[in-house]
Structure 1
């Protein structure tokens, strides 16, 4: 999968575009995966130098072009505002480098499809951090569904609730369509929810009906905001299962409440991201909590369980596992469940369907 066979035998050299919160998360994961952290580029040479010093990188680049023309760099992490993802990811691929691009992959499906095709054409690893699928107990839920333990899937329900934009005094660049794209709450966190539901269930949303609302049209720095603060979606899956999804960034008291629940004819499984070391498993005869114990988990869940039972694992652990698997793919391996640009395209397509349904107040088909 690599255009440089020497990558298979030497330490990967990673660089970063952007220097904010996500660049810090990416750089910690890259360091944990054993990469050499070459440097960063940002909106200016000074900001790049500041980011490099803050993140502990070896150096910085005066421009993105300077970073991309460095022949020693193997993989580039794109950690910038949403509207820049597509052009930057395209430039990285055209430079012949592997890419890990923050989501949404693009603000429109045409760009996302083009990037997916370009990565395949160039034979380059291109991944998107849908990292919640890297929690061991999310993989355990997936394994139990795949084994048939739940029986035929009947319903799915999920929510992703946050409160960091709950007040009109809260503001962020993401509310601006010029930087964040036409969708905010759903593109930002609804995409994670949909990815986790489809990944664990092994099923696909085929039709949906959505309602969306902008609670605060005016904030401290932005006025006439059109991006949604929340969205509620009714979904139909290819198997015939039905479900509901609720996404909000204005739900007081909820910090990162990502929850999915899948119910079949025989059992129900529930995963809560804020309590990631356990699953709730329900049956008519009673329910139980399944704790994370590598010795008792499905092989893929055990593989991602990096510390012994009783030692909590969390978000950065999941992100580290995602980057480690991305780097393994660059080295020619085929880790199970790595989210690629095809998954990034899928998220954009579902987001567009949600926006279209909310605007038309009608059911919308989701591309296969």
Structure 2
């Protein structure tokens, strides 16, 4: 199978590297401009840089298109890809609004193609393990879901990225960019999707220095800059109500000094609890009341079937960020080869991506009006 990647920044390059490891031929990349695309294609050794989206979609040898462009471009690009008869893997968040994502769900259904959202963090093996444990009843009924996703890469007023601009990244930033990872992951592990949210958003840096030239994600700007107003959230605090009485609380931040990429979840059930930290991804905490707690080190000789299926490296050989993309793509491309998503597949669908957009729209309304907002209140349901 052959792939093409839209986007030549940090995450697009991660996609290319994981696809090569999987043995998928990357036919070409599409950059934000023909010049930028050509330069990056030459830099990473991809044979072709497409002139535009029509040029890419006209390549009959491309089976799957990876969308890693800025968020505002996902909606139009994904619709065109599916209508061209190609499978698609789209970076999160799926769209800018739940109205857009609802339409994308319907187009994906009608196309009959595999349509996945890139929530790669599901594919750290111990998150798959925890999903299997909850599904098999090892934690009992879920009661309380807590955690955070904190980073520091936008903690200074001269840190810059396109995600800061609402017109490009969406009205939510810390919630939309990294918070949706936490929302997707905990819903996957716990088997629960939120009924309602109560949210507060914070913008600690209301003005930033925007450089006149491009800045790579996680890179530092240099040269001339202009001062611009920022309306997107640096951080957020969100309480969650789940069906059946479970509750949750989470926070997001891109301004927590020293936290490079810290996603933590803690899920308390009726009979046991479990917890995981992205900065120590090969260890899963399992908590008990009446016997010693456990730390499960990723070891496929000790893991359940779901966790084992996602594990690649031998025990003690840490599987990290890049490996999660490899495990995710391996699962999706297996279904592409089969022609459809299989019953035991665990990658995020467009329906999952739409749920995250409903969650985001509910957060925006809750923060604006200072009240609990049900996801049922949000229009654009699929």
Query: Structure 1-normalised TM-score?
Result: 0.94
Pairing partner for 2:349 from 340, 347, 353: 340
Conserved? CA contact 2:6–2:29, under 8 Å: yes
Pairing partner for 1:26 from 15, 32, 50: 15
Partner of 2:311: 305
Deviation, 1:304, is 1.1
Distance 1:270 1:168 in 2: 34
Conserved? CA contact 2:311–2:327, under 8 Å: no
Deviation, 1:55, is 2.4
Conserved? CA contact 1:158–1:197, under 8 Å: no
Partner of 1:356: 365
Partner of 1:229: 234
Conserved? CA contact 1:22–1:79, under 8 Å: yes
Q: What secondary structure does 1:347 align onto?
A: helix
Distance 1:281 1:300 in 2: 17
Deviation, 1:159, is 0.4
1:71-90 equivalences in 2 (<5 Å): 71-90=60-79
Q: Could you give the per-residue CA deviations for residues 92-143 of structure 1, whole angstroms, max 9, x where no partner exists?
A: 1111111111111110111111111101101011111101110111111112
Distance 1:340 1:31 in 2: 23
Structure 2 residue 265 is matched with structure 1 residue 276: no
Structure 2 residue 46 is matched with structure 1 residue 41: no
Pairing partner for 1:164 from 139, 153, 162: 153
Partner of 2:269: 264
Deviation, 1:239, is 2.2
Distance 1:162 1:68 in 2: 36
Distance 1:13 1:139 in 2: 27
Partner of 1:287: 293
1:85-124 equivalences in 2 (<5 Å): 85-124=74-113
Structure 2 residue 242 is matched with structure 1 residue 253: no
Runs of 4+ aligned structure 1 residues displaced above 2 Å come to: none
Distance 1:29 1:316 in 2: 7
Partner of 1:325: 331
Deviation, 1:43, is 2.4
Structure 2 residue 4 is matched with structure 1 residue 15: yes
Deviation, 1:164, is 0.5
Distance 1:61 1:170 in 2: 31
5+ residue gaps, structure 1, are: 1-11
Q: Could you give the per-residue CA deviations for residues 65-117 of structure 1, whole angstroms, max 9, x where no partner exists?
A: 11111111111111111111111111111111111111111101111111111
- State the superposition RMSD in angstroms: 1.2
Q: Could you give the per-residue CA deviations for residues 160-200 of structure 1, whole angstroms, max 9, x where no partner exists?
A: 00011111121211111111111111000000000011100
Deviation, 1:38, is 0.5
Partner of 1:51: 40
| Higher mean C-alpha displacement, 336-345 vs 186-195 | 336-345
Q: Could you give the per-residue CA deviations for residues 203-245 of structure 1, whole angstroms, max 9, x where no partner exists?
A: 1210110101111111111522111111101111112111101
Query: When the two structures are aligned, how many residues end up with a matched partner?
Result: 357
Distance 2:28 2:134 in 1: 42
Deviation, 1:316, is 0.7
Deviation, 1:44, is 2.1
Partner of 2:222: none
| Higher mean C-alpha displacement, 116-125 vs 279-288 | 279-288
